[in-house]
Structure 1
């Protein structure tokens, strides 16, 4: 079966490209650590004197990618002197695991779970952590550290600041506590993005590329104030948002009877993602029914799967939002049939998000002004750690207030945190573990990713490894549960995976930095083409347009992969 697939893909890929991949590929024997480094020696000149090696992953739940990152960490530490590991996990929570890695304090399973997310709560991460502990226990010349650079949760960071202020700057405690309550309240009531109720679906982008879309539906409203009810459609591409309409300025408001509305958009050929749905900013209630999609004037053949008439309970493909708004299927006064979708609610009450961010920033500024006092009562290292945790709270406040720009805020802050870690460890070299998107230098979904920010901070000092896989399964959230039986879709023609698969090398590294536009063998790496990118959610649309050379320095291809294996202890604190 595999041989047949390889032959089929080889016929689809230009022979010159296949030959170039075979000539330049660096095969490796295994993804499992503990098998020596002979097959990894060719990576040394690729990495050179890079201070940062960033390791991506094609999904947040791929076992072999995690295992290979473990193996690469061992290689980088023992052969090239890297001494810091940092993962896409909340910063102070990850640093708690550092005590185990350095001193052997605590239960590694509980500490991994304490980083909150199922994505890291795996056998593969535990095996790596236990190797790090064994390495330090052997008494190396340089201690290996476990750190984290993410900032999605303020709880532990805020507690660290509160405890420090209570112990050393008691006069500031009430101000700090009150301001941090604002941050926690902002998280509870939702970010700036939840000033509206919304139901969202994902439309098959392949069906709509290069075509005109008409999205229509029936809407009625009741006492809808300071807002409107509308349909919305958004098309994303390699450079960001390509097309968008949400009926702002022409959607119904106040109290109105059922009426038909529509939006019409052209979907460019380079589209990589389409989201759509219904929306209601403001206070009041609105109802939606008999949603329909037409492509080039013809009804979309598979529209019934989206339950646009809300006749069944299944709303999986049109998931309601949370926050101060409730979206639900109701049977009262539908337009047609026996049910419709209701959105009811009001914008969250409380201080404006910008005010909350300013409150967190005031705490940081006050602590920065008191740094000398903190140093006198603790140490320079401890004072800097207290300040960094105050910085993490500011970052969280910005994330919660960021609305649609949250992705950009997060990646900017993660890069800042990596910079801080390196600033605390002059001359040290660091290994980063994150998703392909976060480590990349290029553009995906129009976002500015951590890798781009790091390249600006550390120009020419980073080696970025992007991971790919062609077949198998992965762990992700599916239908509200964590599932390990999600299938990887077959690589489409022209995709990065189809090209790499054509070489018939089951495990390989490929240095893409020398690729040249127009070159018969390597030019494909300088062109926009699909590459798999799956996060924490199972996805039907698994491939997005990237320019591989712009994104990564080295591709790591593992032909067949399996699902990451969860620990028998649940994540959480």
Structure 2
């Protein structure tokens, strides 16, 4: 069953909560001290009727807001919220159907998502297998499957050049790109393969991830020994392949595709080099740099010049990322620098409810994927203002909000909102589970959901 319906009150749940969290009104959603501001904000939001992807009528007011955008970043405050995924499906349908977008880019690896592109463009393969193959449990859900099935339905019977394409832009894994390059060079240049076969083996088998237990604290220079030797061998191999492609015909489609595989590998290795040297700020920087470059390639390579980008809020914000390892440029800050006002970033926030993430087991001896919820947000969180608005599901254009002087004053400050990725740490509610933004500078728009539910993993035999 695909996830194209709204949640029901009797949906099964396996929720576990933080020590200071609860599903039973753990905090007063409506903060009456914020009521005057909330009422002013309510006058400027676009009320959304629900999360059903099939109904787009209530999104009509967004047509003028997004008409001039070339890239729309669709964020999320967690990697495991069903309503966020359904709403992003709705927004992608809107962008494709009303504004002629023909590219969806996702926070997933380039090579692994080529099977998804084959399915949505040509109907080849099984979308469940394709989602399983990208190695991101975050997207292996009924809601994302429903999006892929709709993209296939939309593309059916259209001229190939008018079909929506689907590409991953992340840079975390090396295996699939390396395997594709090994097959390519076996035909095009076996001598290069003979010289760098060991380096490609390292990349195919992904034997370059750092053993974090070998690093002794923040002052350690990183991993050494065999792991570092394998990384250096892989880097030499990628450099050799990059040099090979420098003199090749860019109009050759196979050359263009496999050159991009090399770029994707280079980005992944730069990310891993930062981790190897215990420089996580550099690793974060290189990952977002690679995502920006991969997105630029898809826009340059394809005839379509408008893209919807699916990723976390932290990646898509227009400003730099403030992490516990230091400040680093984000994917979104690079898109804002490159595309200016043609980039429109949409953040997400929520008040209550559940989401899925990797968190501690009941005995705290390990970690597992489970359902969780958060307790009250910080006292100065924008989430408290959003929760006081009488509407429970809405879109806000920050340009419209800040036209009001009192709202502009409120948002002209760093304010926390909900924010966590794949990992849930119940001992860090107001640290890694919230991020502070000067919201109108970081996002052009925001979607707020009062009550959320866990994303539903795809059931398999």
Aligning the two structures, in what range does the TM-score lie when normalised by the shorter sequence?
0.7 to 0.9
- Residue of structure 2 in register with 1:537 after alignment: 423
Q: Is the 2:101–2:308 Cα contact (8 Å) retained in structure 1?
A: yes
2:399 is aligned with 1:513: yes
- Residue of structure 2 in register with 1:60 after alignment: 79
Residues in 2 aligned to 1:102 and 1:460: alpha-carbon distance in whole angstroms: 30
What is the CA deviation profile of residues 266-313 of structure 1, one whole-angstrom value per residue up to 9, with x for unaligned ones?
A: xxxxxxxxxxxxxxx49xxxxxxxxxxxxxxxxxxxxxxxxxxxxxxx
Shift of 1:138: 4.2
Residues in 2 aligned to 1:159 and 1:80: alpha-carbon distance in whole angstroms: 37
Residues in 2 aligned to 1:189 and 1:3: alpha-carbon distance in whole angstroms: 46
Q: Is the 1:364–1:387 Cα contact (8 Å) retained in structure 2?
A: yes
Q: Is the 1:436–1:466 Cα contact (8 Å) retained in structure 2?
A: yes
Residues in 2 aligned to 1:526 and 1:192: alpha-carbon distance in whole angstroms: 42
Q: Aligned to 1:558, which of 437, 449, 457?
A: 449
Q: Secondary structure of the residue that 1:58 maps to in structure 2?
A: coil
Within a 5 Å distance, the mapping from 1:210-359 to structure 2 comes to 281=220, 348=226, 350-351=228-229, 353=231, 356-359=234-237
- Residue of structure 1 in register with 2:243 after alignment: 365
Q: Aligned to 2:332, which of 418, 442, 451?
A: 451
More strand by share: 1
Residues in 2 aligned to 1:534 and 1:81: alpha-carbon distance in whole angstroms: 32
2:20 is aligned with 1:129: no
Q: Secondary structure of the residue that 1:172 maps to in structure 2?
A: helix
Residues in 2 aligned to 1:450 and 1:426: alpha-carbon distance in whole angstroms: 22
- Residue of structure 2 in register with 1:300 after alignment: none
Q: Secondary structure of the residue that 2:166 maps to in structure 1?
A: strand
What is the CA deviation profile of residues 175-234 of structure 1, one whole-angstrom value per residue up to 9, with x for unaligned ones?
A: 34233345568x535449776235xxxxxxxxxxxxxxxxxxxxxxxxxxxxxxxxxxxx
Residues in 1 aligned to 2:304 and 2:122: alpha-carbon distance in whole angstroms: 23
- Residue of structure 2 in register with 1:267 after alignment: none
- Residue of structure 1 in register with 2:165 after alignment: 145
Q: Secondary structure of the residue that 1:61 maps to in structure 2?
A: coil
Residues in 2 aligned to 1:503 and 1:55: alpha-carbon distance in whole angstroms: 22
What is the CA deviation profile of residues 227-281 of structure 1, one whole-angstrom value per residue up to 9, with x for unaligned ones?
A: xxxxxxxxxxxxxxxxxxx6x6xxxxxxxxxxxxxxxxxxxxxxxxxxxxxxxx4
Shift of 1:139: 2.6
More helix by share: 2
Residues in 1 aligned to 2:396 and 2:344: alpha-carbon distance in whole angstroms: 13
Residues in 2 aligned to 1:525 and 1:110: alpha-carbon distance in whole angstroms: 44
2:31 is aligned with 1:10: yes
2:67 is aligned with 1:38: no
2:269 is aligned with 1:391: no
Quick one: structure 1 residues 473 and 6, their matched pair in 2 at CA, closer, same or farther if it must change by over 3 Å?
Answer: closer
Unaligned 5+ runs, structure 1: 199-245, 249-280, 283-322, 325-345
Q: Secondary structure of the residue that 1:383 maps to in structure 2?
A: helix
Shift of 1:394: 1.3
Residues in 2 aligned to 1:13 and 1:2: alpha-carbon distance in whole angstroms: 23
The TM-score with structure 2 as length reference comes to 0.84
Q: Is the 1:20–1:522 Cα contact (8 Å) retained in structure 2?
A: no
Q: Secondary structure of the residue that 2:43 maps to in structure 1?
A: helix
Shift of 1:48: 2.0
- Residue of structure 1 in register with 2:298 after alignment: 421
Shift of 1:101: 0.8
Shift of 1:52: 0.4
2:225 is aligned with 1:380: no
Shift of 1:562: 0.2
Within a 5 Å distance, the mapping from 1:165-244 to structure 2 comes to 165-181=185-201, 183=203, 188=207, 190-191=209-210, 196-198=215-217
Quick one: structure 1 residues 182 and 503, their matched pair in 2 at CA, closer, same or farther if it must change by over 3 Å?
Answer: same
What is the CA deviation profile of residues 491-516 of structure 1, one whole-angstrom value per residue up to 9, with x for unaligned ones?
A: 23221211111111101111113555
Shift of 1:126: 0.6
- Residue of structure 2 in register with 1:255 after alignment: none
Shift of 1:94: 0.7
Q: RMSD in angstroms over aligned alpha carbons?
A: 2.8
2:373 is aligned with 1:487: yes
Which protein shows a greater Rg?
1
- Residue of structure 1 in register with 2:66 after alignment: 47
What is the CA deviation profile of residues 360-419 of structure 1, one whole-angstrom value per residue up to 9, with x for unaligned ones?
A: 2222122222x13xx6xxx62221001000111111111111122211100000000000
Q: Aligned to 1:401, which of 239, 263, 273?
A: 273
What is the CA deviation profile of residues 467-486 of structure 1, one whole-angstrom value per residue up to 9, with x for unaligned ones?
A: 11100011011124443421
Greater Cα offset, 394-403 or 461-470: 394-403
Residues in 1 aligned to 2:293 and 2:380: alpha-carbon distance in whole angstroms: 36
Residues in 1 aligned to 2:115 and 2:25: alpha-carbon distance in whole angstroms: 49
Q: Secondary structure of the residue that 1:510 maps to in structure 2?
A: strand
Residues in 2 aligned to 1:4 and 1:562: alpha-carbon distance in whole angstroms: 15
Q: Is the 2:44–2:400 Cα contact (8 Å) retained in structure 1?
A: no
Q: Is the 1:51–1:462 Cα contact (8 Å) retained in structure 2?
A: yes
- Residue of structure 2 in register with 1:219 after alignment: none
Quick one: structure 1 residues 106 and 433, their matched pair in 2 at CA, closer, same or farther if it must change by over 3 Å?
Answer: same
